[in-house]
């Protein structure tokens, strides 16, 4: 007897709950927007009251998380940093403009010196449109070069030494304000954000449960009014896993000095081969679920073939099977 296949939102809360604050909030906002537009708005008066009520609770929970996130990221120093950055940008633009002008209409010595200073500006990729931290770093690197010969001599020739010193002071001011803001934010109650996340997670789980339930009870002739929304949400999940949520840090089992195997927590050997093809280049799994590195089977310390369907255990010793004519087999301790 054939089993009817119901569209269901895939389990996802475990992945989302381990995401950083910004990524978690982004997912919750995306999910709520999908429920709102693809279910509540799309169905209109036909939308069940329970889903409408659940969406209202979801909106409130996501808004509370958004407020908590803005609280831990906002600082009174933000405006001061923006103002200091503008002052610094004006000085840098003025400095660059002056050097460009002297390269065209200055003395012979200035026309010779200007291209070298402009090249240094290009080499250190200074841009007033990049974020504060990167601009601060690039300007600091540029100034270090302008303060030593031969570029310091070029600055003297161009009569911009004092302007370089002014830019250095203004750049240090921006860096100081950023450091103060970071120190200030470290003292903000991070638990408030965590409480907001947990609350949003609970409402999320309830919403998924309600939508999935209606997708079952309202299915007719193999389709329900929620199928499109569910498909889109599941596709969103794949996107967030691949593009938004940070990749799990890979662990490594050292097989020999030159050969290692990479995996993440709770992965089987077989899954790790498929999930990390670049890191595990050369590793394959046979039809009998034996693990091979090129043509050599992976064995445990007792000489038994490793079962690729088992979870990777980096506390054990492993070795590669040696050719029949045999060279010495030396088990290695994983890192």
- Same domain assignment for residues 134 and 217: yes
Closest CA to 312 of 247, 243, 265: 265
Distances (CA, A) of 328 to 260, 290, 295, 323, 325: 19, 22, 17, 10, 10
- Same domain assignment for residues 259 and 116: no
Over its length of 335 residues, how does the chain's per-residue pLDDT go in tens digits? 334 588 999 999 888 888 888 899 999 999 999 999 999 999 999 999 999 999 999 999 999 999 888 877 766 677 788 889 889 889 999 999 999 999 999 999 999 999 999 998 888 888 777 777 778 888 888 898 898 889 999 999 999 899 999 999 998 998 888 888 777 666 556 678 889 999 999 999 999 999 999 999 999 988 999 999 999 999 999 999 888 887 767 889 999 988 999 988 888 999 889 878 878 999 999 999 999 999 999 999 999 999 999 999 989 999 999 876 644 444 444 44
Closest CA to 39 of 28, 29, 25, 50: 50
To the nearest 10 degrees (0 to 180), the angle between helices 108-123 and 151-158 is 130
334 lies in a domain?
Answer: no
Domain boundary among 199, 222, 246: 246
- Same domain assignment for residues 4 and 111: yes
- Distance from C-alpha of 3 to C-alpha of 6, rounded to nearest angstrom: 9
- Same domain assignment for residues 220 and 261: no
2 lies in a domain?
Answer: yes
- Distance from C-alpha of 244 to C-alpha of 70, rounded to nearest angstrom: 19
Rg (CA), the chain: 30
- Same domain assignment for residues 115 and 228: yes
Count the alpha carbons within 13 Å of 272 in the hemisphere toward its beta carbon.
29
- The per-residue pLDDT for 327 is 47
56 lies in a domain?
Answer: yes
- Same domain assignment for residues 276 and 306: yes
Q: The tokens of 53 are what?
A: 């009520």
140 lies in a domain?
Answer: yes
Q: Are 54 and 32 in contact (CB under 8 A)?
A: no
What is the SS3 assignment for 5? coil
**Which residues make beta-bridge pairs with 319?**
299
- Same domain assignment for residues 236 and 298: no
- Same domain assignment for residues 239 and 279: no
327 lies in a domain?
Answer: no
- Same domain assignment for residues 53 and 195: yes
Contacts 24+ apart (CB under 8 A), 300-307: 301/331, 303/329, 306/269, 307/269
Domain hosting 133: range is: 1-246
How many domains does the chain contain in total? 2
- Distance from C-alpha of 257 to C-alpha of 265, rounded to nearest angstrom: 23
172 lies in a domain?
Answer: yes
Q: Is 147 exposed, middle or buried (0-12, 13-18, 19+ CB in 10 A)?
A: middle
- The per-residue pLDDT for 332 is 44
333 lies in a domain?
Answer: no
Distance of CA 111 to the CA centre of its chain: 46
Distance of CA 193 to the CA centre of its chain: 19
Q: Are 293 and 255 in contact (CB under 8 A)?
A: yes
326 lies in a domain?
Answer: no
- Same domain assignment for residues 112 and 225: yes
Domain boundary among 230, 246, 262: 246
Count the alpha carbons within 13 Å of 151 in the hemisphere toward its beta carbon.
17
Domain boundary among 202, 225, 246: 246
- Same domain assignment for residues 124 and 224: yes
Contacts with 207 (C-beta within 8 Å, 6 or more apart), sequence order: 31, 35, 54, 55, 57, 58
Distances (CA, A) of 95 to 106, 109, 164, 166, 329: 15, 18, 8, 10, 67
- Same domain assignment for residues 240 and 259: no
H helices present in 74-131, as ranges? 77-105, 108-123
Q: The tokens of 316 are what?
A: 């054990």
């Amino acid at each position: 007897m054939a089993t009817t296949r119901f569209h269901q939102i895939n389990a996802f809360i475990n992945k989302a709950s381990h995401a950083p604050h910004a990524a978690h909030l982004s997912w919750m906002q995306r999910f709520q927007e999908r429920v709102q537009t693809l279910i509540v708005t799309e169905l209109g008066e036909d939308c069940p009251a329970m889903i409408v009520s659940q969406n209202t609770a979801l909106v409130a929970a996501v808004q509370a998380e958004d407020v908590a996130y803005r609280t831990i990221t906002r600082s009174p120093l933000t405006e001061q940093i923006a103002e200091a950055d503008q002052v610094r940008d004006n000085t840098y633009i003025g400095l660059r403009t002056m050097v460009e002008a002297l390269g065209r209409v200055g003395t012979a010595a200035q026309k010779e010196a200007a291209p070298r200073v402009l090249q240094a500006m290009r080499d250190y990729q200074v841009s007033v449109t990049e974020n504060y931290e990167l601009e601060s770093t690039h300007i600091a690197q540029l100034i270090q070069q302008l303060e030593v010969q031969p570029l310091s001599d070029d600055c003297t020739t161009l009569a911009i030494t004092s302007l370089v010193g002014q830019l250095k002071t203004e750049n240090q001011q921006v860096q100081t304000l950023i450091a103060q803001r970071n120190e200030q934010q470290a003292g903000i109650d991070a638990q408030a954000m965590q409480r907001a996340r947990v609350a949003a997670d609970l409402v999320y789980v309830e919403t998924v449960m309600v939508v999935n339930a209606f997708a079952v009870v309202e299915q007719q002739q193999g389709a329900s009014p929620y199928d499109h929304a569910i498909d889109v949400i599941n596709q969103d999940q794949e996107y967030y896993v691949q593009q938004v949520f940070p990749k799990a840090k890979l662990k490594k089992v050292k097989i020999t000095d030159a050969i290692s195997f990479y995996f993440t927590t709770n992965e089987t050997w077989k899954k790790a081969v498929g999930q990390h093809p670049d890191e595990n280049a050369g590793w394959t799994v046979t039809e009998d679920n034996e693990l091979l590195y090129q043509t050599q089977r992976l064995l445990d310390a007792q000489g038994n073939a490793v079962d690729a369907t088992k979870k990777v255990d980096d506390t054990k010793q492993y070795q590669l099977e040696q050719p029949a004519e045999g060279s010495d087999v030396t088990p290695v301790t994983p890192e």
